[in-house]
């Protein structure tokens, strides 16, 4: 079962050159270790395939830029981007042999995937007649390949219902809690009705007993 799921839902990275990633980092503010050997400023260590390349002062902006480039196919889709905030580390992997699985990208609480993408994928071409295959979903920023380590640093929605609840929660609406409150209120109402019925039945029994007692008294007289 595990092998079948891996074959259907995962892919193994074939690897890519790390040179373009290193050149990009140097252009985007990567500082050498010698320059920051005695610096007291908090920086983030940057690793490429396990090798400490340098440090960076704005890791948030760097990661956002890398992910945008990966979704535009300017950076290889199999490149893994992992940020460890506690250890102040940014780890990039381009090596082969990593198990990756495709996930739909969500932006502003909305799926990037649209019906036209499904139609293009089914017919194999776009409306303009251009080829559209599975790999084009990654190149157009619809899906993203994540390995096991990067999955630990992102938020993953398991079902469409969870995504809908997240959209409602962003507006200040919590449907699950409201449903629970409604259920509790309904249960309390049912209990009150049952208690009222029991009280009414007890009153009726008492009235019957009183009526029987009166009949007995009249018969004795």
174-184: pLDDT as tens digits? 765 444 444 55
Question: 168 pLDDT band (50/70/90 cuts)?
Answer: confident
Q: Are 55 and 90 in contact (CB under 8 A)?
A: no
pLDDT at 86 over 70: yes
Q: 80-84 and 106-107 as β-strands: parallel, antiparallel, unpaired?
A: unpaired
Q: What is the pTM of this model?
A: 0.71
Class of domain 2-170: alpha beta
- Please, which residues bridge with residue 105 across strands? none
Structural domain spans, the chain: 2-170, 174-221
| Distance in Å from the first CA to the final CA of the chain | 88
pLDDT at 76 over 70: yes
Q: Are 101 and 7 in contact (CB under 8 A)?
A: no
């Amino acid at each position: 079962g595990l092998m079948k799921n891996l074959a259907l839902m995962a892919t193994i990275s074939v690897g890519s050159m790390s040179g373009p990633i290193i050149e990009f980092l140097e252009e985007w503010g990567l500082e050498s270790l010698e320059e920051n050997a005695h610096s007291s400023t908090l920086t983030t260590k940057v690793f490429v395939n396990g090798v400490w390349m340098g440090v960076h002062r704005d890791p948030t902006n760097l990661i956002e830029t890398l992910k945008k480039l990966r979704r535009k196919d300017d950076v290889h889709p199999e490149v893994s981007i992992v940020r460890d905030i506690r250890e102040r580390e940014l780890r990039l992997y381009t090596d082969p042999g990593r198990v990756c699985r495709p996930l739909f990208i969500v932006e502003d609480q909305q799926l990037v995937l649209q019906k036209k993408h499904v139609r293009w994928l089914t017919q194999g071409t776009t409306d303009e007649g251009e080829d559209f295959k599975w790999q084009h979903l990654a190149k157009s920023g619809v899906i993203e390949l994540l390995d096991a380590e990067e999955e630990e640093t992102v938020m993953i929605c398991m079902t469409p219902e969870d995504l809908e609840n997240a959209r409602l929660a962003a507006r200040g609406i919590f449907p699950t809690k409201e449903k629970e409150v409604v259920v509790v209120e309904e249960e309390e109402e049912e209990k009150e009705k049952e208690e009222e019925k029991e009280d009414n039945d007890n009153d009726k029994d008492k009235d019957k007993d009183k009526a029987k007692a009166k009949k007995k008294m009249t018969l004795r007289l």
